[in-house]
Chain A
Amino acid sequence: MNCLEFRRQLLSTPLAKSPVIAEHRLVCPACASYAARALALEHALKNSLQVDIPEGLASRVLLRQRLATRRRFWQRGLWAVAATVLLSVGIAMNWPGSSTSLSLEESVLAHVEHEQRHLHAHDNVSLEKVNHQLQKYGAHLVAAVATINFASPCAMRRAAGFHLVFQGEHGPVTVLIMPGDPIDRRQIIADQHYRGVVVPIQNGSLAIVAQNSQDLAMIEQRLHKAFQVTT
């Protein structure tokens, strides 16, 4: 093995152990030094590639899979029940249950948890752009509530809805607009990490979720004045 072959081998597979490599290193001090630097680089490269993993990544993957599985199971179950009823009774009925096995509270908190990456967004979306997108939900913000870090249509428990993240004074505040998921009165929701409220709006509900109570109160108060449903 000559020096060029030795170095090519080191560049392509630096950690490969071969007697020919070991032998050449013993007889060629220049290549021995080259090999030492190559191995140091390999060590540093390995360390550099080990970027930090987002906290809770595996849990979020598993949560999403479980939610998808439960939803599919429920939908299949619902179809089976509906088919049985239609066949045996011969009448159509308006099934009173929900289309998901999660309660409204669970679905809101799971949504925020599952999409928590949006809490770190800083898109600074304009009010005009948000209002343009809100048109299709018949909703409108008549005044700025706070800096809008994220705004996008999103699948909610019952129907397509809208996901917003405002910048609170102490952290992000999530707002979910959920058409087709009406409630009778304001509900308080909470888990270990988040607290929030779900309030009734025309033809649906609106959830506000934050980690800080002051931010939650501030955004709720401002939304109460600024959020309007036009249809």
Chain B
Amino acid sequence: MENAQLTFEALVNAYSADLYRYAYWLTRDKHLAEDMVQETFMRAWKALHSLHDHKAAKYWLITILRREIARHFGKHRHDTVHYESDTELDQWLEVDHGPSAVEQWALHRALEEIPKDYLDPLLLQVLGGYSCDEIGELLGISGGAVMTRVCRARQKLRHVLEGETTQRTKKVPS
């Protein structure tokens, strides 16, 4: 029991931030993201005995979190995805983020334009640090399909940030 408590506390301290960020970008709602993380850890606590490989803990937690989010959106099909209001830009700019603040903000908004099917593998790659094959296993698609999706996600980001006109005028040498 004591060991289980210590393991659980270590998992919460090590992974709650990563799980929250992943949930935030999938739900675009900070309150819902926290709820999802809370539910994930409660389920993880109840099923802690089934975690045999502690090295795979983060992957295990992400799997639970993904189920929680799917369950939530299954129950609330008519809920619209909530986006943070435009006033967030003002709050963002009030803080000195250095010369790249505006570019970061543009990127933040560009991320919101990426369809979830493309964003999800991108998050798992950048935030989770997983390979395309590992992501494919989580999402139930092939590693090749993951590569295509993350390519398209980054392509979309570049288009939004650099402007599609600029992109189209640049010819890629073969």
Contacts and interface: CB of A to CB of B under 8 A. Distances in A.
Contacts, number: 99
A4 B174 contact: yes
Interface in A1-55: 2-4, 7-8, 11-14, 28, 30, 38, 41-42, 44-51, 53-54
A61 interface: yes
A117 B31 contact: yes
Interface of A: 2-4, 7-8, 11-14, 28, 30, 38, 41-42, 44-51, 53-54, 57-58, 60-62, 64-65, 68-69, 117, 120-121
Contacts of A44: 100, 103-104, 107
Interface of B: 8-9, 12-13, 16-17, 20-21, 24-25, 30-31, 34-35, 37-38, 41-42, 45, 100, 103-104, 107-108, 111, 123, 125-127, 132, 147-148, 150-151, 154-155, 157-158, 161, 172-174
Nearest to A8: B151
Chain A contact surface mostly: helix
Nearest to A43: B100
B126 A49 contact: yes
B20 A68 contact: no
Contacts of B148: 12
Contact of A61 (B12, B111, B155, B174): B12
9 contacts: A3-B174, A12-B132, A30-B173, A46-B126, A47-B104, A54-B34, A57-B17, A62-B8, A65-B45
